[in-house]
Chain A
Amino acid sequence: DAGVTQTPRHEVAEKGQTIILKCEPVSGHNDLFWYRQTKIQGLELLSYFRSKSLMEDGGAFKDRFKAEMLNSSFSTLKIQPTEPKDSAVYLCASSLATGGQLYFGEGSKLTVL
């Protein structure tokens, strides 16, 4: 079975650009999560979808971060405009059932210059 697929694996952006990260969850999974991971802050939740409905939008990340689930098998995370402090690894995860094990992708490493 295919796991969670994230593209691109690496992205370099200039400050002020718009970037879109993509995620394909495990087929049949109902919950989808976007996280940001940095050495200092660790894992921070950006967005959480249950059956394509947005359940949590990560509060502090609302203004420049927007996640969407276009269908049950594809999600995007848009960062607009990017800032150097957005440099991090962005992880997508899916889960078959609420409260169950999360399956993570390998992440998209974003560098903002």
Chain B
Amino acid sequence: QEKVQQSPESLIVPEGAMSSLNCTFSNSASQSIWWYQQHPGKGPEALISIFSNGNKKEGRLTVYLNRASLHVSLHIRDSQPSDSAVYLCAVSRGSNYQLIWGSGTKLIIKP
């Protein structure tokens, strides 16, 4: 069964620094990889997705995908206290593009 693993489990980063989150998946045939942000008491919110090997940049976010090593990372430049949240990695698979979810990384930005 396909698995998605995220690391670290939690991360404390000073305000203004770069936050780096990791996600590994078990099936190189997976389609898109998504990153979602979830604040306490709220539902997850999509941040960015990637399909092709390489990197994709949107604002302060950069995501890197390496299908050969089954690894994707999310980097948040100039981290802000409002970035404090749980970040979920989700990998789509199958004809229904069903998402397999990681267990999340809790990011805390310290002012």
Q: List 5 A-B residue pairs with CB atoms under 8 Å apart, sorted by A's residue number.
A: A43-B101, A45-B99, A91-B44, A98-B97, A102-B99
State the B residues within 8 Å of A (CB).
31-32, 34, 36, 41-46, 49, 88, 92, 96-99, 101-104
Contact status B46-A99, CB under 8 Å: no
A103 to B34, CA, bound (A): 13
Other-chain contact of A101, B31, B43, B49, B88 (Cβ < 8 Å) = B49
Closest-CB distance, B92 to chain A (whole angstroms): 6
> Cβ of B31: which chain A residues have Cβ within 8 Å of it?
99
Binary per-residue interface labels of chain A (66-107) against chain B in the complex, 1 for a CB within 8 Å, 0 otherwise: 000000000000000000000000010100001101111111
Contact status A106-B88, CB under 8 Å: no
Closest-CB distance, A60 to chain B (whole angstroms): 12
Contact status B92-A99, CB under 8 Å: yes
> Cβ of B98: which chain A residues have Cβ within 8 Å of it?
45, 48, 56
Contact status B101-A4, CB under 8 Å: no
Contact status B43-A42, CB under 8 Å: no
Interface majority SS (helix, strand, loop, mixed), chain A: strand
The 8 closest A-B pairs by CB, nearest first: A104-B43, A99-B97, A43-B101, A101-B46, A42-B103, A104-B44, A91-B43, A105-B43
Contact status B43-A93, CB under 8 Å: yes
Interface bracket on A? 10 to 19
> Cβ of A50: which chain B residues have Cβ within 8 Å of it?
96
Q: A42-B101, A42-B104, A43-B101 are in contact. Are A106 and B96 (CB under 8 A)?
A: no
Contact status B46-A102, CB under 8 Å: yes
- Find the B residue at minimum CB distance from A107: B43
> Cβ of A12: which chain B residues have Cβ within 8 Å of it?
none
- Find the A residue at minimum CB distance from B96: A55
Contact status A99-B102, CB under 8 Å: no
A103 to B45, CA, bound (A): 7
Q: A42-B101, A48-B96, A55-B96 are in contact. Are A101 and B34 (CB under 8 A)?
A: yes
